[in-house]
């Protein structure tokens, strides 16, 4: 069960915590004297045994980073978003390494964008269309504010467009 809320203190097990109050307003008693808080997706959890302090830190966007690109070329990294802000356009290059489920997003700002493949076996699937496999394949925007989001479907090689805005050229 996932619940947000506040901790209550009292005379419970050795941790000194007797309940966790959730969004429902009800108390959730610790199981076996433990309440486990686990970080994921840009969330970290650290404890200080000397002061019995638990710190939960948010990653600001679930571990997804946006990059303002003002140069004509940019190597891409997984789980990053890119804003093409070079008026002459930006050519992005796919990462050589990507795990299944990794996501990349691109949004046109001041200029258009092109996404080039970086490996002889890479391909991007866009609906019923596929890019030319290898370094000759690419996607390109036609307008300044065109946008695209894609996910790695096969480690390192196959990417699938999840969403797109605008007219995207598939080469």
Domains of the chain in start order, with CATH, are: 6-57 (no CATH), 65-170 (2.60.120.640)
Cα dihedral sign for 160, 162, 165, 167? Answer: positive
Q: What pLDDT, on a 0 to 100 scale, did the predictor assign at position 120?
A: 86
Q: What pLDDT, on a 0 to 100 scale, did the predictor assign at position 2?
A: 41
Q: Give backbone dihedrals phi and psi of 159, rounded to 5 degrees, phi first.
A: -120, 145
Q: What pLDDT, on a 0 to 100 scale, did the predictor assign at position 94?
A: 97
Q: What pLDDT, on a 0 to 100 scale, did the predictor assign at position 31?
A: 57
Q: What pLDDT, on a 0 to 100 scale, did the predictor assign at position 12?
A: 41
Q: Which residues pair with 41 in a beta bridge?
A: none
Q: What pLDDT, on a 0 to 100 scale, did the predictor assign at position 26?
A: 54
Dist CA 79 CA 38 (whole Å): 21
Per-10-residue mean pLDDT for the chain, 171 residues long?
Answer: 44 43 53 58 64 63 82 97 96 96 96 93 96 95 96 97 96 96
Q: What pLDDT, on a 0 to 100 scale, did the predictor assign at position 20?
A: 46
What is the length of the chain? Answer: 171
| Global pTM exceeds 0.85 | no
């Amino acid at each position: 069960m996932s619940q947000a809320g506040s901790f209550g203190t009292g005379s419970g097990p050795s941790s000194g915590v007797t309940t966790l109050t959730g969004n429902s307003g009800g108390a959730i008693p610790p199981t076996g004297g433990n309440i486990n808080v686990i970080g994921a997706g840009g969330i970290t959890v650290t404890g200080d045994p000397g002061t019995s302090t638990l710190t939960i830190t948010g990653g600001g966007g679930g571990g997804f980073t946006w990059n303002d690109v003002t140069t004509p070329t940019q190597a891409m990294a997984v789980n990053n978003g890119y804003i093409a802000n070079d008026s002459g356009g930006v050519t992005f290059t796919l990462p050589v390494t990507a795990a299944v489920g990794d996501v990349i997003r691109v949004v046109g700002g001041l200029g258009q964008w092109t996404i080039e493949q970086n490996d002889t076996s890479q391909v991007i699937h866009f609906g019923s269309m596929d890019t030319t496999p290898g370094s000759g394949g690419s996607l390109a925007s036609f307008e300044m504010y065109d946008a695209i989001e894609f996910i790695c479907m096969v480690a390192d090689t196959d990417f699938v467009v999840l969403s797109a805005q605008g007219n995207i050229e598939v080469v």
